Structure 1
Amino acid sequence: MTFAAWNVRTLIDRDTNICPERKTAIVARELRRYNVDVAAISETHLADEGELVEHGGEYTFYWKGTPASEPRRSGVGFAIKSAIVKKLVECPVFISDRIITLRLHLENNQYLNLISVYAPTMTNDDDIKERFYEELAATLSGIRPVEKILLLGDLNARVGRDYEAWPRVLGRHGIGNMNSNGQMLLSLCAQFGLAITNTYFRLPIKHKVTWMHPRSKHWHLIDYAIVRQADISQVLVTRVMRGAECWTDHKLVVTKVKLRLRPPVRSNRVNSARLDVNKLASMETRNSYCHALNNATSTIDTDGDLQMTWDLQ
């Protein structure tokens, strides 16, 4: 399956002269172009919580934001292929305007817990950052150890490349230097045994960095795909798709994972008992069986005079 993380900056349609299309239609078209099954979208700026279907783009959007009466500077959600939405057993769970989760039922009785996040920026107050990581830690604590985790989103953190100081959390292909937000993210990953997949693949820098600082013009990695350390071998690749555009200054991060959804279970399935034909070797059983069949079919009369008689002797 293919998953993605994308800070879309906003899903609100404001100036139709600058952006004549609906933002959800643009995002859906780009996700379909890269064949993304489920995308974690952040900084949506949408109020409250809700659901929207882009029929042309074949994606269904779920979001959670702040109340309409409050300033909207955050918001998270999922964009899911509508064909997959029909197979969902559980609905997304709205935790806050910065965290939303979705539990997928996989083959072999396995489960994948998708977590879409939008972390506070460096300029946010420390209490906002601490509350976010407390909520995220509580969310992770509520997931059974046997279930898989895929944490996706804009973490607004630079984790650096010191893989020796953070064994199994970081791979050998990180970039840049760690900042204070990165320290908080790395500590959380170490606590819950998580691995930052962006740092595990040897790729050109342009396929790793996700956001350019508006003043320094330096590119940084701040959007992530994070899994359990035990599941890192199931991740085929995590990389940036530079061609994706939706009027945002963040690049689309795509991660491909060796997972398959559980096939739908037929609710009208009839369980029939297996017949033991060896019992027909007994004369008594054959006579009893023929007697039962004759009684069952003696009432069938399609032409007014049809009668059926069974004899296995």
Structure 2
Amino acid sequence: MFRLWDILRKRWPLVPGSGTIPGHGSGHGNGTARGANNLRATDRYHQLDLATYNGRTLRLEDHLVELEVELEKIRWHVLGLCEVRRQGEDTMTLPSGHLFYFREGDHTSRGGVGFLVNKSLVDNVVEISSVSERVAYLVLRLTDRYSLNIVQVYAPTSTHSDDQMETMYEDVSKVLNTTPKTHFNVVMGDFNSKVGVRASGESCLGQHGVGIRNRRGQMLVNFFEKEGLFLMNSFFKKMPQRKWTWRSPDSVVRNEIDFIITDRKYIFRDVSVINRFNTGSVHRLLRGSLSVCFKLERAHMLRSTLRPNSQ
């Protein structure tokens, strides 16, 4: 095992810059991130399955085991987590080889955000951290030129004030605009907001929204327009039973309140609820499948640099 690790160290040189875990929170880390393979040398495309899930609790080790058992049944690379309900902040490598990061919420009995990174992508992690108990972020190296910033959000419920919701959006903006610049950004999580169908002139939404928008949903749409983001749930046509992400404990009310959002909508091939994933939560897992064509991205960048300035 030691000899294999030596080989891996030689194959993946250290990524310049920050380590995997900045000096933050509990201070527990797992060393420095190692560089990703240069994907352009083997393939023009990079495909990823990103998912978000409010499992209601991961406080006990048994909860983690149950989550991993369910994950074995589906395709996934990165899972964003809400309501981890663990104490403190830490990053650990699980016996399965997956990387688990979490930060507790405003109280140990509720809230908190985190990530589970598939063992196949652990060496691509450049940075993983949080800016608050409601907003965490993960930077993945796709190639030596392109990186992906994934932001996980757990929004305040209706029992919290609008000021607290605005503070959360400010934290998300901070991650999008002040963390090391990446080529792609994905924001996902439980937003506790109903966006509903698209209104006239709203290019940030697609044609396949469901339900009626509430006040918090309008706040979210305003945030999309301010940051140039797109709500990907609404761009893919699904049967009604594949749209809702939360149900009331009595199963009478069902709403779509968990979302996957991006600043480059063309990279997504699908966003869908996964019915067969179940750990007893009232939420359902939402998965987005994306495919990045590096050749196309280079062409876009070349055209933007050659395009003459308008007079």
TM-score (norm 2): 0.74
Counterpart for residue 227 of structure 1? 262
CA shift for structure 1 position 209:
0.7
Given that residues 128 and 137 in structure 2 are in contact (C-alpha distance below 8 angstroms), is that contact kept between their aligned partners in structure 1? yes
Q: Structure 1 residue aligned with 2:103, among 51, 64, 74?
A: 64
Identify the match of residue 110 of structure 1 among 127, 146, 151: 146
The one-letter code sitting in structure 2 at the alignment partner of 1:82 is: K
Question: Which one of 217, 224, 242 corresponds to residue 252 of structure 2?
Answer: 217
- The answer to whether the Cα contact below 8 Å between 1:107 and 1:260 also exists between their aligned partners in 2 is no
1:249 aligns with 2:282: yes
1:306 paired residue number: none
Is the Cα contact below 8 Å between 1:104 and 1:111 reproduced in 2? yes
1:98 offset after TM fit, Å? Answer: 0.6
Check if 1:149 corresponds to 2:185.
yes
Deviates more, 1:3-12 or 1:106-115: 106-115
Give TM-score scaled by structure 1 length. 0.74
Report the Cα distance in structure 2 between the residues aligned to 1:146 and 1:49, rounded to whole angstroms.
24
CA contact (8 A) 2:205 2:235 kept: yes
Aligned CA distance change for structure 1 residues 104 and 135 (closer, same or farther; 3 Å): same
Q: How does 1:1-313 map to 2 (within 5 A)?
A: 1-13=48-60, 22-56=62-96, 58-66=97-105, 70-88=107-125, 90-107=126-143, 109-142=145-178, 147-167=183-203, 169-214=204-249, 217-228=252-263, 231-259=264-292
CA–CA distance in structure 2, aligned partners of residues 72 and 52 of structure 1: 21
Q: Contact between 1:28 and 1:79, CA under 8 Å: does it hold in 2?
A: no
Identity between Structure 1 and Structure 2 (%): 28
Q: How far apart are residue 113 of structure 1 and its match?
A: 0.5
Which of 1 and 2 has greater Rg? 1
RMSD: 2.1
Which runs of 5 or more residues in structure 1 are unaligned? 14-20, 262-313
Moved over 3 A (4+): 143-146
Residue 217 of structure 1 and its aligned partner are, at CA, apart by 1.4
